[in-house]
Structure 1
Amino acid sequence: MTTMTPAAATLRTAPRPRTAVPGTGSPGDLERDWQAWRAARHAALRDPRGPLSIVAHHWLPPEPTALAGVPGLWWADRHSTHVTVGDPGGGPVLLDAETSRPVTGTRRVVVAEAGSASPFLVAPDGTGTPDDPSGLVAVEVALRTGRALVRLRDPGSDALAAATDRDPVETYPFDAAAVVDVGVRWYDVPRPATVGAAKPGLVHHVEVVGSVDLAGPDGPVTLEVVRGHRGGVTLAFTDTADDVPGWRAVHLTAAALLAERSTGRLRIDLNRASAYPSHFNDHGTCPRPLEGNALPFPVVAGEKDPR
């Protein structure tokens, strides 16, 4: 199979622009912006309780059950997650994340669908309130497709330790031709849609807010964008490159949208195509792309498969 870069993908359908328009920025400026984005991205991946810190996950049953690595008995009903804690007997202790004091009795945690919270920490023994809780394992409670789970986020994980001396994720070299400006069609009314997830049996509910056309070797390919975080949008897609994760996404901020909304164009930097947290370990529940968001050619830009 012939591998095609984004530059080659545009050559057969449109003249290759010398710089991306609208907007300003030479190829050197674009690369410096990407380097700054990449540094921030790597810093986020190295966060002591970020995606590289997750070392375990447990789906919660309806009856009180002991979980490996977590003090207490845990269970969930339709509305809440519960934990009841007895005498630790000198073993690991469940702490309140706000006060760093031991949890006693029964606690109830409520999170919204697709939401999460980290209300607890795990101390290795019952020696008292730690002076510095930042190195303790955090206990995250999440709700996915109506099912509650607990994940353990360990600042001392092997993955975080390995990322100290190397990049957390490999990327292709920057390619200015992978910064493309495309027409965007914003929908007057967002369309609700359901997508799959990294874990079988789970789904995510998204809002489709518009569509764009990316040039390919056999003509333009239409992809749809969904509402993202804090007023931004997300373009998630699959492609046929061999050394990338199953799907990636380009996230556009609200500020970027505001700057370009009046032009009817959208700048998509495929150098920023990112792996999802679920691509770094087996504990993620991240959404998959919309069913039709499949590019029938390789995108040789952005992040490679972390594993």
Structure 2
Amino acid sequence: MTTTTQTAEERWLRFRQARNEALAEPHGWLTLTSFQWLGDEPAALELVPGLWSAAGDTASLTAHSADALTELASGRLVEGTLTAVLADEESLMWVAYGGADGRRVVVELARRAGRYAIRTRDAESPVLTAFTGVPVFDYNPDLVVVGRFEPNDEPRQESIRTAHPDVPGTASTVGDVVFSLPDENREFRLHASQEDAGSLAITFHDRTNGTTTASWRKVATRRPRPDGTVVLDFNRAINYPSAFTPYGTCPMPVRANVVDAPIEAGEKDPLR
């Protein structure tokens, strides 16, 4: 193994450590225990105290001090009715309850496809307490490939499905990343979205899905170089939260983003 490969693998190991630590946060993605839509009339929901509803653009929670719900923003017990207004796709860590500190379970308010829902995040979720790290393929330097970015004249919007059957989504793509894989005498072309600081994100299917990997994954690149080249490090391909929990609303790939080849790098299916 060369010094360059060792250095790259060491960086990947640090990336893996940071990734596992982020997933193990007390109220992170591994703690989701429910996803429940809010109705028009105040009603009780599973796993949470209080009465919950949504009318128009406003979500409401009515509770009494005996419910022991704490508003996270103020730190006060909820006594009466709280309201919140979110834009579509926004989320709010709204209230908490349970445990010695009253914050074992955080209730997230979310607005998806114009509807309000809550998700419960339990710091003692079995998924979190049993977590020892995401299974991954061994580091493979051959799956760090150089591609080229071909930008669109302007971003394109495409309707997509998400991990939740009742939540449609939209992907905004800014161009294509074109690349080849080892032992594959052909090019692959995937639509990319733009993230912070000009980096690119690609959500994709490949032939490992459903066997060793989850149904889809995501890989990010740095900002394209001045000559349009980008580096795709598939060792850093990661799962969406929906690979760990049935309560995610994660975006599926756009229709074109299918790699008809196995990409045996990055994160595996955590449930296999």
Provide TM-score, normalisation by structure 1: 0.82
Which residue in 2 is equivalent to 1:172?
Answer: 137
CA offsets 1:77-112 (integer angstroms, 9 cap, x no match): 231211111352xxx411111333211111111222
Higher strand share: 2
> Quick one: distance in 1 between partners of 2:128 and 2:252?
25
**Is 2:1 the counterpart of 1:32?**
no
- 1:47 aligned partner, one-letter code: E
Which residue in 2 is equivalent to 1:298?
Answer: 262
**Residues 206 and 227, structure 1, Cα contact 8 Å, conserved in 2:** no
SS in 1 for 2:206: coil
> Quick one: distance in 1 between partners of 2:116 and 2:197?
25
Which residue of 159, 166, 169 maps to 1:204?
Answer: 169
**Is 2:248 the counterpart of 1:284?**
yes
**Is 2:69 the counterpart of 1:105?**
no
SS in 1 for 2:157: strand
Once the two structures are TM-superposed, the CA of residue 187 in structure 1 deviates from its matched residue by: 2.1
- CA RMSD of the aligned region, Å? 1.9
Asked which structure has the greater CA Rg, the reply is 1
* Structure 1, unpaired ranges of 5+: 1-17, 20-24, 125-129
- 1:197 aligned partner, one-letter code: T
Which residue in 2 is equivalent to 1:6?
Answer: none
**Residues 198 and 287, structure 1, Cα contact 8 Å, conserved in 2:** yes
> Quick one: distance in 2 between partners of 1:229 and 1:246?
25
- 2:228 aligned partner, one-letter code: G
Which residue in 2 is equivalent to 1:243?
Answer: 212
Which residue of 42, 59, 67 maps to 2:20?
Answer: 42
> Quick one: distance in 2 between partners of 1:93 and 1:229?
39
> Quick one: distance in 2 between partners of 1:119 and 1:232?
31
5 Å-filtered alignment, 1:55-134, equals 55-86=33-64, 88=66, 92-123=67-98, 132=101
- 1:107 aligned partner, one-letter code: L
CA offsets 1:115-144 (integer angstroms, 9 cap, x no match): 1010211135xxxxx7x45x5211100111
Once the two structures are TM-superposed, the CA of residue 264 in structure 1 deviates from its matched residue by: 1.2
- 1:104 aligned partner, one-letter code: E
* Structure 2, unpaired ranges of 5+: none
Identity rate of aligned residues, in percent? 33
**Residues 100 and 121, structure 1, Cα contact 8 Å, conserved in 2:** no
Once the two structures are TM-superposed, the CA of residue 231 in structure 1 deviates from its matched residue by: 4.5
Q: 1:145 to 1:268 in 2, by over 3 A?
A: same
> Quick one: distance in 2 between partners of 1:192 and 1:261?
25
- 1:263 aligned partner, one-letter code: D
Q: 1:229 to 1:118 in 2, by over 3 A?
A: farther
Which residue in 2 is equivalent to 1:227?
Answer: 194
Q: 1:263 to 1:28 in 2, by over 3 A?
A: farther
Which residue in 1 is equivalent to 2:111?
Answer: 143
Once the two structures are TM-superposed, the CA of residue 230 in structure 1 deviates from its matched residue by: 6.0
Which residue in 1 is equivalent to 2:239?
Answer: 275
Which residue in 2 is equivalent to 1:188?
Answer: 153
Provide TM-score, normalisation by structure 2: 0.92
Matched residues, number: 267
**Residues 53 and 160, structure 1, Cα contact 8 Å, conserved in 2:** yes
> Quick one: distance in 1 between partners of 2:162 and 2:194?
17
Which residue in 2 is equivalent to 1:153?
Answer: 121
> Quick one: distance in 2 between partners of 1:205 and 1:186?
19
**Residues 117 and 140, structure 1, Cα contact 8 Å, conserved in 2:** yes
Which residue in 1 is equivalent to 2:31?
Answer: 53
The structure with higher relative contact order (CA 8 Å, sep 6+) is 1
State which drifts further: 273-282 or 27-36.
27-36
CA offsets 1:263-288 (integer angstroms, 9 cap, x no match): 31001100111110011011100000
**Residues 78 and 146, structure 1, Cα contact 8 Å, conserved in 2:** no
Once the two structures are TM-superposed, the CA of residue 157 in structure 1 deviates from its matched residue by: 1.2
